[in-house]
Chains A and B, each alone.
Chain A
Amino acid sequence: MNATGVGQIVKVALSLIVFALLWQAACYVFSVPTFLVPAPSDILLRLFEKGGLYLTHTWVTFYETLLGFAFAVLGGCLAAAVIVVVPALRDVIMPLLLIAQIVPKVAIAPILLIWFGYGLAPKVLIAFLIAFFPVVVNTTQGLISVEQELLELGQSLKATRWQIFWKFRVPTALPNLFSGMKIAITLAVIGAVIGEFVGGNRGLGYLIIIANQELDTPLAFAAILVLSVGGIILFWMIEIAERYLVPWSSTGDANIEMARQ
């Protein structure tokens, strides 16, 4: 990481600390009841008191999220490949995908629970359903965006469909796949939590529900904090992987640099 990167992290950290301090001060000055809005100190205290509890529940949510995400990426790539390789199937798959995307997941979550029970399966399924769409759309877009003249070069050399797909389309689509995965991972977290809200007895979503029932607002806030930080870390991990696996798409970086100036 370079100097500007470190500088940026310091800036973000500072603004977060200032925000927390203001929050703390406001809670103190206006003596806001803890069960309404807990001060940051209350939240952190709760977090450390119940460290072990958080660890187990975080692990559960993390596990559901990653499984749902992995299925979304695998299924999404597969669907995108089918759409591109067999264009005739495009008109069959796309409407189904659109319907699956438009149906509110919160609404079907209870039904999935009836079908699949209270265990891991429905959570993973909801995470998958919600994360799948951006992967398909982005990857399909990538697979069909091979430069026209490059395709003509391939044709002029009598490249097979197989060669066109693996040597031309897949590498072209990698940057798009990563854009899709970045959206998908944040959605997968949401999906897993929705699943836990609706039913079950494990995970950070479940913890939030319980905390609400007991008016233990610091506990709920602490769970939300852990959830957000976890989501951000997962997002970063994909960004780092992207840097290593798709080093040629550095034009994106250049664009961001220019926007900053």
Chain B
Amino acid sequence: MSSPKPAIEVADLCKTYVVRGAATAALDRLSFSVAPQEFVSLLGPSGCGKTTVLKIIAGLTAPTEGIVKLEGHTVLGPRADVGMVFQTPALMRWRTAIENVLLPAEILSLDLRKFRGRAKDLLDLVGLSDFINKLPNQLSGGMQQRVSIARALVHDPSILLLDEPFSALDAMTRNQLNVELLRIWSERKKTSLLITHSIPEAVFLSDRVVVLTARPAKVMDIVEITLPRPRTPDMRVSPTFINLVDRLGRLIGLEFA
């Protein structure tokens, strides 16, 4: 995947948090890039600085050093053509599913009448067509996370940032949502950056996996996922898949040793 302009370019990123005089180095000269329409996962131990990377890319936090470019433009603040999915669904409890999905369109002052149809299609896409008018507390955890994925897509961003979106879900729901995310990605072809703890999840979804070290995060290795596309759930038992999972496991295991 060699493109003249990467969709996401992270160069020599350093971040040090200072809280009451005590400095915590979270990132240490981190560099990687994501090509347009590529699916890349960030894999790293807990607390190593993954969320920090995502927040810097989203323009929510400023780096201490280094630079992030989105489609060639240096990130100086938030950009509306980025969609975000968080570890928790982060839905508005007072809004129905479709009203939650419409929130970004509302904030960006887009034509809501036009976007209502789009929001419905997206809820359809995530398998919630029967729950359009339900409040979040009437939905299961997995359904809530689907709503938040639909919400991240409603304003048609070109880049999708996902911060451990499935880590609070049980293994079965997680696998199911992996398949759905894969389907959504292949239909909409967004440049996607996924943070995850789960090696199988990273292998199943990604074109490449960026493996990070423990805090402060550096790039330990970048692993090309050679599984063919389109991917199907039965590939999870293929030798290539198992080999890749094994290899990534060793990388992360090595770091812990």
Contacts and interface: CB of A to CB of B under 8 A. Distances in A.
A157 B104 contact: yes
Interface string B189-233: 000000000000000000000000000000000000000000000
Contacts of A156: 58-60, 78, 82, 84
Going nearest first, the 10 A-B pairs with the smallest beta carbon separation are A149-B90, A149-B86, A157-B107, A150-B90, A248-B94, A171-B94, A156-B78, A159-B107, A248-B93, A156-B58
B108 interface: yes
B12 to A, nearest CB: 23
A162 to B, nearest CB: 11
A206 B176 CA distance: 70
Interface of A: 147, 149-150, 152-159, 163, 167-168, 171, 174, 246-251
A149 B92 contact: no
B137 interface: yes
A159 B84 CA distance: 14
B80 interface: yes
B90 A147 contact: yes
B106 interface: yes
The main secondary structure of chain B at its interface with chain A is loop
Contacts of A147: 88, 90
A148 to B, nearest CB: 8
Nearest to B163: A149
A174 B93 CA distance: 12
B84 A153 contact: yes
B135 interface: yes
A35 B136 CA distance: 59
Nearest to B55: A152
Given A157-B107, A248-B93, 7 more contacts: A153-B90, A156-B60, A157-B80, A157-B104, A158-B80, A246-B94, A248-B137
Nearest to B88: A149
25 contacts: A147-B90, A149-B88, A149-B90, A150-B90, A150-B91, A152-B55, A152-B58, A152-B60, A153-B84, A153-B90, A153-B103, A155-B60, A155-B78, A156-B58, A156-B78, A156-B82, A157-B78, A158-B78, A158-B80, A158-B108, A167-B107, A168-B92, A247-B135, A249-B93, A250-B137
B87 interface: yes
Contacts of B94: 171, 174, 246, 248
B170 to A, nearest CB: 21
A167 B109 CA distance: 13
Interface centre among B82, B84, B92, B136 (most CB of A within 10 A): B92
B161 to A, nearest CB: 9
A248 B137 CA distance: 8
A163 B107 contact: yes
Contacts of B107: 154, 157-159, 163, 167
A167 B212 CA distance: 37
Nearest to A148: B90
Interface centre among A154, A157, A167, A249 (most CB of B within 10 A): A157
Interface string B80-122: 1010101110111110000000011011100000000000000
A171 B95 CA distance: 10
Contact of B137 (A154, A171, A174, A251): A251
A74 to B, nearest CB: 22
Given A248-B94, A248-B135, A152 B108 contact: no
Contacts of B84: 152-153, 156
Nearest to A171: B94
A150 B108 contact: no
Contacts of A171: 92, 94
B190 to A, nearest CB: 15
A104 to B, nearest CB: 39
Interface centre among A149, A156, A174, A251 (most CB of B within 10 A): A156
Contacts of B78: 155-158
Nearest to B135: A248
B6 to A, nearest CB: 20
A168 B100 CA distance: 12
A150 B92 contact: yes
B36 to A, nearest CB: 20
Contacts of A246: 94
